[in-house]
């Protein structure tokens, strides 16, 4: 396993992070709570990741309605590796229906952190991440609350997810203006099919020395080649259970580009998902890509990406090849 510095924090994380959004559910979707990986499967996935040298696990209080954190907490208690693990959880989505049960207000953050600590069976979170900006709460209120959580010892570092470059810049400027702890990481989607953050988020993160931990490096499994255009996905697949995030990609253009990736992977003698993940890891601003295997057999192609180092020219050639075929 390869390890990289996590921005300015001094932490060193594996270049693959284990995304635990499938434990107990499928992300934060309430209608899918209880339909994700059960505890034995989640334990097996965490065991394999840990054995492979992955020391960075990412979850959220809303994943599986709290089940993801609960399962991770049980695993940590049994395996006794908490001090060696970089543990990240996110906050912002609703776990209940009350007016204070979501968002990034001070009241919600102060309440939510205690729930996460209890479920995770730990006394601190290494990285506490906002799920997305909250239009109803000022960034100053959120940052002051996060700052207080850090001073209380409940949180070591903070980060932001699903955030635009202007929103991230505003938060960094506000932190510097009033002397608060800054966001140390940014977690947005990034893949060969979703390159939006290349325009401004990645340059800003590089300039500010922020860690970048993209999710969705295979676009919900599309880039593994297991789906075919016009054919319904398996009911228990990620696309079958929760197609909404990928609907704008389910078109002929996307699948033409996927065929180009299939040919490129065949030329190299690697799995499609391996090549797609290696492409993400090859960006110089990326610190660690979050993977979300649902079965043990999904892990090995992802681990293979660690050893597949693509040059800048190779990355550009692959992206250009896919774009040309799709056009």
For residues 83-102, one letter each, b for 16 or more C-beta atoms within 10 angstroms of the residue's C-beta and e for the rest, the string is eebbbbbbbbbebeeeeeeb
Among residues 190, 192, 198, the alpha carbon closest in space to that of 161 is found at 190
What is the number of other CB atoms lying within 10 angstroms of the CB of residue 317? 13
Query: Over 70: is that where the pLDDT of 136 sits?
Result: yes
Among 131-140, 250-259, 268-277, 280-289, where is mean pLDDT lowest?
A: 250-259
Query: Over 90: is that where the pLDDT of 293 sits?
Result: yes
* pLDDT: which is higher, 94 or 128: 128
Mean pLDDT of the residues in the chain:
92
Q: What does the alpha-carbon distance between residue 10 and residue 176 come to, in Å, rounded to a whole number?
A: 20
For residue 316, being part of any structural domain is answered with no
Query: Over 90: is that where the pLDDT of 228 sits?
Result: no
DSSP SS3 for 224: helix
For residue 261, being part of any structural domain is answered with no
**Averaged pLDDT, 193-214:** 97
The helix (H) or strand (E) run that includes residue 183 is strand 183-187
DSSP SS3 for 259: helix
Strands (E), 247-315: 289-291
Query: Over 80: is that where the pLDDT of 103 sits?
Result: yes
Residue with tokens 């993209």: 214
CB 303 within 8 A of CB 275: no
* pLDDT: which is higher, 153 or 37: 153
**Averaged pLDDT, 289-294:** 95
**Averaged pLDDT, 297-313:** 96
Burial of 65 (0-12, 13-18, 19+ CB in 10 A): buried
Query: Over 70: is that where the pLDDT of 99 sits?
Result: no
Among residues 265, 227, 277, the alpha carbon closest in space to that of 247 is found at 227
**Averaged pLDDT, 237-262:** 81
Among residues 107, 31, 23, 12, the alpha carbon closest in space to that of 60 is found at 23
pLDDT at 226: 85
For residue 124, being part of any structural domain is answered with yes
Q: Rounded to the nearest 5°, which phi and psi values hold at 297?
A: -65, -15
Q: What is the CATH number of the domain that holds 52?
A: 3.20.20.100
Query: Over 80: is that where the pLDDT of 235 sits?
Result: no
**Averaged pLDDT, 220-232:** 83
Among residues 17, 103, 12, 2, the alpha carbon closest in space to that of 288 is found at 17
For residue 257, being part of any structural domain is answered with no
For residue 231, being part of any structural domain is answered with no
pLDDT at 109: 96
**Averaged pLDDT, 216-239:** 81
Tokens encoding 269: 């003698």
Residue 301 is part of which domain span? 3-221+285-309
pTM of the predicted structure, to 2 decimals: 0.93
For residue 273, being part of any structural domain is answered with no
* pLDDT: which is higher, 206 or 100: 206
Cα angle: 61, vertex 71, 215; to 5 degrees: 55
Query: Over 80: is that where the pLDDT of 5 sits?
Result: yes
Q: What does the alpha-carbon distance between residue 11 and residue 247 come to, in Å, rounded to a whole number?
A: 37
pLDDT at 97: 66
- Of residues 63, 183, 190, 227, which has the active-site annotation? 63
pLDDT at 250: 76
* pLDDT: which is higher, 235 or 220: 220
DSSP structure string for 57-111 = EE--TTGGGGHHHHHHHHHHHHH--GGG-EEEEEE-S-SSSSTTSSSS-HHHHHH
- Name the band, by pLDDT with cuts 50, 70 and 90, for residue 96: low
Among residues 220, 221, 167, 203, the alpha carbon closest in space to that of 285 is found at 203
The reply to whether 63 belongs to the active site is yes
* Cα torsion angle, 274, 280, 286, 291, sign: negative
- Expressed in angstroms, the distance from the first to the final Cα of the chain is 37
For residue 170, being part of any structural domain is answered with yes
The total domain count for the chain is 1
pLDDT-above-90 percentage for the chain = 80
For residue 20, being part of any structural domain is answered with yes
Q: What does the alpha-carbon distance between residue 167 and residue 178 come to, in Å, rounded to a whole number?
A: 17
Among 22-26, 159-163, 179-183, 202-206, where is mean pLDDT lowest?
A: 22-26
**Averaged pLDDT, 237-254:** 76
Tokens encoding 266: 């065949």
Query: Over 90: is that where the pLDDT of 98 sits?
Result: no
């Amino acid at each position: 396993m390869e390890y990289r510095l996590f921005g300015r924090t001094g932490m060193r994380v594996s270049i693959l992070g284990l995304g635990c959004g499938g434990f107990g559910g499928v992300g934060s979707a309430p209608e899918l709570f209880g339909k994700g990986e059960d505890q034995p499967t989640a334990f097996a996935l965490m065991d394999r990741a840990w054995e492979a040298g992955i020391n960075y696990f990412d979850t959220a209080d809303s994943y599986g309605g709290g089940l993801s954190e609960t399962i991770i907490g049980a695993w940590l208690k049994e395996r006794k590796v908490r001090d060696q693990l970089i543990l990240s959880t996110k906050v912002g989505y609703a776990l209940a229906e009350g007016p204070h049960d979501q968002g990034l207000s001070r009241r919600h953050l102060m309440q939510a952190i205690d729930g996460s600590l209890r479920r995770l069976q730990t006394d601190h979170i290494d990285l506490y991440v906002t799920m997305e900006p909250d239009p109803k709460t000022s960034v100053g209120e959120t940052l002051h609350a996060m700052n207080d959580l850090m001073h209380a010892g409940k949180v070591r570092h903070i980060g932001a997810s699903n955030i635009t470059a202007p929103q991230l810049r505003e938060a960094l400027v506000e932190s510097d203006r009033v002397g608060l702890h800054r966001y140390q990481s940014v977690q947005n989607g990034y893949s060969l099919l979703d390159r939006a953050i290349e325009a401004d988020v990645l340059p800003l993160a590089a300039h500010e020395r922020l860690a970048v931990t993209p999710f969705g490096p295979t676009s919900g499994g599309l880039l593994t080649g297991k789906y075919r255009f016009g054919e319904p996905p398996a009911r228990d697949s990620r696309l079958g259970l929760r197609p909404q995030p990928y609907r704008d990609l389910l078109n002929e253009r996307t699948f033409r580009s996927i065929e180009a990736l299939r040919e490129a992977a065949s030329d190299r003698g690697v799995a499609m998902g391996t090549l797609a993940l290696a492409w993400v890891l090859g960006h110089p601003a990326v610190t660690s890509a979050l993977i979300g295997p649902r079965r043990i057999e999904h892990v090995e192609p992802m681990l293979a990406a660690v050893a597949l180092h693509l040059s800048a020219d190779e990355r550009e050639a692959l992206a250009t090849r896919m774009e040309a075929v799709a056009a």
